[in-house]
Structure 1
Amino acid sequence: MTDTTTMTENLMSALGLDRPESVDDTVVPFTLDRLDTRGRSVRLGAALDTILSRHNYPAPVARLLGEAVVLSALIGSSLKFDGRFIMQTQTDGPVNLIVVDFDAPDGMRGYARFDHDLLVKAAEEGRTRPGELLGNGHLAMTIDQGPHTERYQGIVALNGNSLEEVAHTYFMQSEQIPTVVRLAVAEFTKKGDHRPHWRAGGVLIQHLPEHGGATMADLPGDGDFDNPAMKDPDFVEADGWTEARTMLATLDDLELADPDLTSERLLFRLYHETGVRVFAPMTLEERCTCSADRIEDMLANSFTAEDREEMAVDGEIEVVCEFCSTAYHFNPHQFEPN
């Protein structure tokens, strides 16, 4: 028996696993029972590489969008119903718009818009950290449960903060549950490949409320948030939570994005002394929800015949999906009544 086989068997035994370890493009829920903490670990490979490589983004933009995709996967995968989790930033920075759609239970797509001149200027000045690329504006997190249901949305200000920092603020304001998020995006080159590939990892942990409480999918409506606990001068952080977040802080970006480090191995490395219980992984995939029928319906019902005529070039209307770059073509006269 090889050392690797022995190590794997010991790891699976320690985690109580009766299945193979997870692979890329999965999210693994876990609990730290002794520390009153729950969480999720995400590893993204081919799915993220498809999203980022499709548009040939400059590296700083790709990394920022990659972080947004990981964060959306960490939150969106907690939905307990078929619906959509939408994360959107609108700012005055070089990367002025990011939209990530998580189509529950497993579909992801993402898009970023950036100002080339502002991006070049930021790079020349050495301002390429995520918070500096975002600038000032807001981040909105929305849950859409489908037709005939109310959307739930929470909004957080962006003032040069990273997505990790914004996530911490968001969860404290909305759920009033202490939360820590770690995100990392990197490029790796495999032997024999002609180009590097994007991959990423992320971990989200939350302190379990003493008497239950909100879940990651419970988002409030619009409005100001208030967190009485954080304003209480006598508020004392639980020892278990302090230990859980302190251990997570020892994790570096390379570990998070390491292609040879599964979620199970990562969690065991962090929490083997206190104990960690992992659950079955959930598969994630890059999937766009655009379709010819949806776009045709939009053209027919949202625009007049004159509008459609103006859109036409050389006798046809071309609509390109911003997410997946698929081009759809329509005859402007096909919408006329028979």
Structure 2
Amino acid sequence: MAEIASALGEFDFAGDDHVVPFQVEGLDVRGRAVQLGPMLDAILARHHYPAPVARLLAEVIVLTVLLGTSLKFEGKFTVQTKGDGPVDLLVADFSTPQNVRAYARFDQALLDKAVAAGETEPEQLLGKGVLAFTIDQGKFSQPYQGIVALDGTSLEDIAGTYFRQSEQIPTRVRLAAAELFDRDQAGQPRHRWRAGGLIAQFLPEAPERMRQPDLHGGDGDNAALAHKEDDTWTEARALVDTIDADELTDPQVGIERLLFRLFHERGVRVFGTREVIDRCSCSRDKIKNVLKGFSEEEIDASQENGEIAVTCEFCSTTYRFEVVEVASAAE
């Protein structure tokens, strides 16, 4: 049975950590939007990353949530960046139906140098490299991976380029992350991370309307062959571009209010929300199964004082194994 959409104003606000699918019939646009609060804060709090790294990872988490919840699949969807900048690795994955985890890797010396020089924009921290999207539906299915270059632009622009090049779908992505300093109910100072994002895609019934202007330097650079962007999509993209970063992270705004402000004149409707939670898929049994593949020499090199400790990079949980236990598993 198809899910019934609601006009804005006919439902309660979804709140933090709930993805809101939407449709703008007058603009042939479908999309998703989300504000992340407690879930995001829990992930970042356990890692204690420097603020520029935390903010960058927050944007990747938002992108992962927006894209992962849009897929009809069972398995894991991963967004990963690899670059030559101070933050050389960012990984976030969404496991169905709702679990999210993430971590970052960075060079402290290079990061300190970048901060001192005021070079903390995402494109400056990531450098040149690749952004990869991977869908893994388990051992009985071949993983699918899409890759786009980190080309010195923002993550939201790079994601839009991916959809344009690989999916041929006109897409606009907006991402934002912010630190909040306020007080809790007891009046005590507190620090929180929030993030938000929106993805809008132009999906008209007539596929020829999805044509876009050719990319600079491509085969279609000839002005006589260049495609004109559909006026309806031009309008939709312009509306999305009016979003301020603060609106995506402000808990007082809310996603539904933001969607209404953007699209109410064009008939925006929303569908059932989908909650996402902070939950890692690691376990003692999974780690032990990995150690079963270690050779005797590798086990000996990994142990200290008769014990092997393995820390999950995603959730920072440490699992400890007696050497005798692991060695017997490896026999």
Q: Say yes or no: TM over 0.5.
A: yes
Kindly indicate whether the alpha-carbon contact (under 8 Å) linking 2:77 and 2:133 is maintained by their aligned counterparts in 1.
Answer: yes
What's 1:188 paired with? 180
| 1:74 aligned to which of 66, 69, 73 | 66
| 1:165 aligned to which of 146, 157, 162 | 157
Kindly indicate whether the alpha-carbon contact (under 8 Å) linking 1:290 and 1:321 is maintained by their aligned counterparts in 2.
Answer: yes
Written as runs of structure 1 = structure 2, the 5 A alignment for 1:6-155 is 15=8, 17=10, 19-155=11-147
- % identical equivalent positions: 53
What's 2:212 paired with? none
| Offset at residue 162 of structure 1 (A) | 1.4
What's 1:316 paired with? 307
For 1:229 and 1:295, locate their aligned partners in 2 and report how far apart those are by CA, in whole Å. Answer: 51
For 2:7 and 2:221, locate their aligned partners in 1 and report how far apart those are by CA, in whole Å. Answer: 36
Identify which range, 113-122 or 154-163, moves more after superposition. Answer: 154-163
| 1:243 aligned to which of 215, 232, 235 | 235
The one-letter amino acid of 1:15's match is: L
Say whether residues 1:175 and 2:167 are aligned partners.
yes
* Paired residue secondary structure (1:21): coil
Deviations, residues 146-191 of structure 1 (Å, cap 9, x unaligned): 1110110011111222111110111111100010000010011332
What's 2:320 paired with? 329
Kindly indicate whether the alpha-carbon contact (under 8 Å) linking 2:86 and 2:107 is maintained by their aligned counterparts in 1.
Answer: yes
Written as runs of structure 1 = structure 2, the 5 A alignment for 1:191-270 is 191=183, 192-211=187-206, 233-270=225-262
The one-letter amino acid of 1:320's match is: T
For 2:182 and 2:271, locate their aligned partners in 1 and report how far apart those are by CA, in whole Å. Answer: 30
- For the structure 1 residues 212 and 305, does the alpha-carbon distance in structure 2 shift closer, same or farther, using more than 3 Å as the test? farther
What's 1:280 paired with? 272
Structure 1: segments with no counterpart, 5+ residues? 1-11, 214-226
For 1:52 and 1:30, locate their aligned partners in 2 and report how far apart those are by CA, in whole Å. Answer: 28
Deviations, residues 75-130 of structure 1 (Å, cap 9, x unaligned): 00112121111111111100000011111221111100010110111111111001
Written as runs of structure 1 = structure 2, the 5 A alignment for 1:269-308 is 269-301=261-293, 303-308=294-299
| Offset at residue 210 of structure 1 (A) | 3.0
Deviations, residues 271-311 of structure 1 (Å, cap 9, x unaligned): 1111101011100111101000000000012x112211211
The one-letter amino acid of 2:194's match is: R
What's 1:219 paired with? none
For 2:226 and 2:188, locate their aligned partners in 1 and report how far apart those are by CA, in whole Å. Answer: 57
The one-letter amino acid of 1:200's match is: A
For 1:190 and 1:99, locate their aligned partners in 2 and report how far apart those are by CA, in whole Å. Answer: 29
| Offset at residue 259 of structure 1 (A) | 0.9
Deviations, residues 212-252 of structure 1 (Å, cap 9, x unaligned): 79xxxxxxxxxxxxx99898834121222111111111110
- For the structure 1 residues 193 and 241, does the alpha-carbon distance in structure 2 shift closer, same or farther, using more than 3 Å as the test? farther
The one-letter amino acid of 2:197's match is: G
For 2:278 and 2:48, locate their aligned partners in 1 and report how far apart those are by CA, in whole Å. Answer: 16
Kindly indicate whether the alpha-carbon contact (under 8 Å) linking 2:6 and 2:271 is maintained by their aligned counterparts in 1.
Answer: no
Structure 2: segments with no counterpart, 5+ residues? 209-217
The one-letter amino acid of 1:111's match is: Y
The one-letter amino acid of 1:65's match is: L
CA RMSD of aligned residues (A): 2.1
TM superposition outliers: structure 1 runs of 4+ over 4 Å: 227-232
